[in-house]
Chain A
Amino acid sequence: MAMQFYASPEQIMRDRAEYARKNIGRGRSAVVMSYEGGVLFVAENLSTALHKVSEIYDRIGFAAVGRYNEFENLRTAGVRLADLRGYSYDRRDVTGRALANAYAQTLGSIFTEQPKPFEVEICVAEVGASPDSDELYRLTFDGTVQTEPGRLVIGGQSEAVATVVKDKHRPDLSLAEALAVAIEALGSVGGDGGNARDIPATQLEVAVLDRRRPGRTFRRITGAALTALLNGGKTDAAAAAAETPADVPVSPAPAKKDDPLPPAESGVGGAAAKDDSAAVDAVLDEIDADDDSSGDDKPSES
């Protein structure tokens, strides 16, 4: 029989944590933050097909960094859990907190029981009626779960990025402003000689949970809508959106009869943000139009 070397539990856990931390830190960061009209996700992503940010449920989004196959597995599990809960109870009974707890359990047991921990850091975000009631959860490879106040950064050189985010983020930012803060923060690290760098729009993955929408609130911002938003061009976006058809409401139905309504405009950021809200809506309409035409030549246009 081969001789087993003794390793203390402390040593094993330290090694695993070290291993996971090192690999997570090697990638690029993702930023999640509340803004006046919802929750914004921004990740640096070279791929347009393999997402770091995605939809879990009506008002819940998911962002992850680290090893793709591992967080993809967690994302799928989250969608299954949320859909199962929503189907057996009601759509309103699917909460970010329950999901974060489930992830914490899963990650915790993988960390202690499996030979190798998951090299991932994830964020579960639930959009609320106002930026105050948004819930952002950070989950790390060992199953630690933390709630964060309105903003968080996962992966990469997260501390350096978080410093910039903390400095500039306010919950009453408009979408364009929040996106600018996120991009500045992501670009604050990784340049030559520790300088800031510009991240091209094609390498950004941007999505929002739109506070004001009933039903499914998750929208990706890509293509023209993203460019317009990056130009700070609220007017550009509004102009572009003016030509696009109305957005697509997704079914209210037995399953969706009790969709959480878009919350009433409550005090927080409401009045100040009013001016921008038309532009933001315009951008979101644009996104819908973008979704609609995803790849296919629609007969109506041919």
Chain B
Amino acid sequence: MFTTPGSSSFVEFLNVAAPQLLPGRRPLPAGYNADVTAHATTIVGITCEGGVVLAGDRRATMGNLIAQRDIEKVYAADAYSLVGMAGTAGIGLELIRLFQVELEHYEKIEGAMLSIDGKANRLATMVRNNLGAALQGLAAIPLFAGFDLHATDPAKAGRIFSFDVAGGVYEETGYDALGSGSIFARSALKKTYRPGLSVDDAVSRAVGALYDAADDDTATGGPDLIRNLYPIVWTATAEGSQRVPDEQVAEIARAEVEARRDNPVG
């Protein structure tokens, strides 16, 4: 099984070796089960000069309850790309974990990284595999962003891809948001986004957009000044995937809150 010649894909290997480990391969009882698990909420992605920023709030909800206050929904997918998710938290986190191994596995077997479009298409296939569960209420959708090592124009090196449950993959221009608060986050970004933002500006606009999402969507968590919980923010640039230090995000988030005292609508 391990020595059988095959593809460089970990998912395809699992399909043969251990199909029970794949999210889409588990039988589900009939019915619509959206309320049985925690739901992760809002993610925003913004392209900037020489890269891209991906940020997520910290809340997971179950119906009208807060399931978790400090969940992490944005991760580095590999050395040059980032992935975040919204929807059924368990499936979304499993999808991210599998995607990370998929990219690493390919890189180790082939000795080279997938292109960013290759990564996005691979992720789309993995989302599509969950279609059955998604239609029964257990949908999880990722937002994928990364630094394109093959880009010829530095202004277009940061790229963002969104997905749908059917496995559609759509490249977004400039910015995008995902999850329950995405309408508000996207509206905020529509007014604050400019092409060619610096990385720091993009980080603070992402935090601002998440504030706006939390302002109008109960399922999105705002900056939690009491518990010191602030959004998770990652950047992908020529220097690779890097998490913006918590202290720096905390500072930006506190400044955002301060600014809203004078002008609540931002």
Chain A residues in the interface with B (C-beta under 8 A): 49, 51, 54-56, 73-74, 76-81, 83-84, 86-88, 102, 106, 216, 245-256, 292, 294, 296-302
Contact = CB atoms under 8 A, between A and B. Distances in A.
Q: Which of B2, B17, B96, B97 has the most CB of A within 10 A?
A: B2
A299 B77 contact: no
B264 to A, nearest CB: 35
A74 B10 CA distance: 16
A141 to B, nearest CB: 15
A300 B13 CA distance: 36
A299 B154 contact: yes
B2 A81 contact: yes
Interface residues of B, number: 44
A247 B242 CA distance: 10
B238 A245 contact: yes
A296 B241 contact: no
B238 A87 contact: no
B108 A86 contact: no
Contacts of A254: 75, 93, 96-97, 100
Nearest to A91: B101
Interface in B25-83: 50, 75-80
B101 A255 contact: yes
A134 B112 CA distance: 27
Contact of A248 (B108, B148, B153, B241): B241
A65 B138 CA distance: 49
B206 to A, nearest CB: 18
B263 interface: no
15 contacts: A80-B10, A80-B105, A81-B2, A83-B10, A83-B105, A84-B13, A86-B101, A245-B239, A247-B240, A250-B79, A251-B100, A253-B97, A292-B238, A299-B50, A300-B50
Contacts of B149: 296, 298
Contacts of A256: 100
B100 A56 contact: no
A84 B98 contact: no
Contacts of A78: 2
Contact of A76 (B104, B109, B157): B109
Contacts, number: 112
Contacts of A298: 149, 238
Q: 5 shortest A-B CB distances, which residue pairs?
A: A251-B76, A248-B240, A300-B238, A253-B75, A299-B154
B75 A84 contact: no
A77 to B, nearest CB: 4
B14 interface: yes
Nearest to B155: A299
Given A87-B101, A106-B3, A255-B101, A299 B21 contact: no
A69 to B, nearest CB: 10
A122 B109 CA distance: 17
Given A299-B152, A302-B154, 15 more contacts: A55-B108, A77-B2, A77-B3, A79-B108, A80-B10, A80-B105, A81-B2, A86-B101, A87-B98, A87-B101, A251-B241, A254-B93, A298-B238, A299-B50, A299-B148
Given A81-B2, A251-B100, A253-B76, A54 B17 contact: no
B227 interface: no
B97 A87 contact: yes
B105 A79 contact: yes
Nearest to B95: A254
Contacts of B130: none
A56 B107 CA distance: 11
B151 interface: yes
Contacts of B153: 299
B237 interface: yes
A255 B100 contact: yes
Contacts of A248: 79-80, 239-241
Contacts of B2: 76-78, 80-81, 102, 106
B144 to A, nearest CB: 13
